[in-house]
Amino acid sequence: MVIDLHTHSTASDGTDPPAALVKAAWEARLDVVALTDHDTTVGWAEAAAAVPAGLTLVPGLELSCRWVPPDGGRPTELHVLGYLVDPTHPGLGAALAALRDSRLGRAERMTERMAADGLPVRWERVSELAGNASVGRPHIARTLVEAGVVASVDEAFATLLRTGSPYHEPKQDVDALTGVRLVTEAGGVAVFAHPLARRRGRVVGDDAVIALAEAGLVGLEVDHPDHVPEDREHLRRLAADLGLLVTGSSDYHGTNKRVRVGGGGHTAPAAYEAMLARATGSAPVVG
């Protein structure tokens, strides 16, 4: 069984529509693929309707969170994967709606600040590219590439869109402990996404993982393209110490990133089965 538990479609910042994504997963000979768009479940229905025979779709999402150290230190952004949640759970639904709303205002302000400085970008175009997706920096990045301001999405992230750039603005992320509890209350399974992906910015220490585990975290995404071998070793040991499951995935984003669906990391069947056994919010879609 080949299992990839982290992918993005055009419902957030991937470039494959949900139906094309499940088709790509099938063509890559995956047995199981999870759709985990940022802060939205809007792609689930299209993906579910398109699951080819032989593939299983795990509906999920990736919740934008921040870890606030109990001693009042600087907050750190982190992502919590929520699998098989009940998408109609009121608490989770309200948190997702607030996150998407914050993304919208922030992306518009970031774009307007660039336009005010004379960069040839318009909010109308960013908004058009995003459609009804959870809008994010990758949509602004693609607009910058289209306008010829930068040569690639990577270059946009390394320059104008990086955290600390005068044009960057943070989103209103959910407190990480609250995020784990919301996923759990919605009948889902919470997994800490790429806990040591340092390329994206600051990462949290083991103290945060311990606190998240106490709040109901079920697993750590150990085998992720952004993790070096030493990080994977450390996380594998931490997961064993805390009784957490280990997952692996591609974090596929279509052409916005280089990794292919099913590339980068896989989840062991036993970990996947253990996740299924805990989930009550929704069911996998068997094609």
For residues 221 and 67, give the distance between their C-alpha atoms in angstroms, rounded to a whole number: 17
Ramachandran class of 262: left when φ > 0, alpha when ψ lies in -120 to 50, beta otherwise:
left
**Interaction of residue 249 with ligand AMP, rule CB under 6 A:** no
Kindly state whether residue 254 participates in binding ligand AMP, applying the rule CB under 6 A: no
Nearer to ligand AMP among residue 13 and residue 231 (C-beta): 13
Stretch that binds ligand AMP, among 28-36, 134-142, 208-216, 232-240 (CB under 6 A): 134-142
Crossing angle between the packed helical segments 229-242 and 206-214, to the nearest 10 degrees: 40
Of 63 and 121, which CB lies nearer to Fe ion in the complex structure?
A: 63
Q: Is 154 in the site for ligand AMP (CB under 6 A)?
A: yes
Q: Which of 83, 157, 167, 252 binds ligand AMP (CB under 6 A)?
A: 157
Separation between Cα atoms, residue 214 and residue 261, nearest integer Å? 32
CB 246 within 8 Å of CB 220: yes
Contact between 251 and Fe ion (CB under 5 A)? yes
Locus of tokens 């989103």? 171
Binding-site ranges for Zn ion (CB under 5 A): 13
**Residue environment code for 86-115, b if the CB has 16+ CB neighbours within 10 A, otherwise e:** bbebeebbebbeebbebbeebbeebbebbe
Minimum distance from CB of 254 to Fe ion (Å)? 12
Q: Which stretch binds ligand AMP (CB under 6 A): 85-93, 135-143, 205-213, 262-270?
A: 135-143
Choose from Fe ion, ligand AMP, Zn ion, none: what does 193 bind? Cβ within 5-8 Å by kind: Fe ion
Partner from Fe ion, Zn ion, ligand AMP, none binding residue 23, C-beta < 5-8 Å depending on class = none
* Cβ-based nearer residue to ligand AMP, 70 or 105: 105
Three-state DSSP string of 250-264: CCEECECCCCCCCCC
Instruction: Report how far apart, in Å, the C-alpha atoms of 259 and of each of 191, 224, 237, 252, 262 are.
Output: 21, 10, 26, 6, 8
Does residue number 256 form part of the binding site for ligand AMP (CB under 6 A)? Answer: yes
7: Cβ–Cβ under 8 A, 6 or more apart, which residues? 14, 21, 25, 33, 34, 35, 36, 249, 250, 251, 252, 253, 261
**Least distance (Å) between residue 105 CB and ligand AMP:** 12
Which residue, 87 or 225, is less far from Fe ion as judged by CB? Answer: 225
Applying CB under 5 A, the residues found at the interface with Fe ion are 62, 79, 193, 251
Applying CB under 6 A, the residues found at the interface with ligand AMP are 13, 38, 136-138, 153-154, 157, 253, 256-257
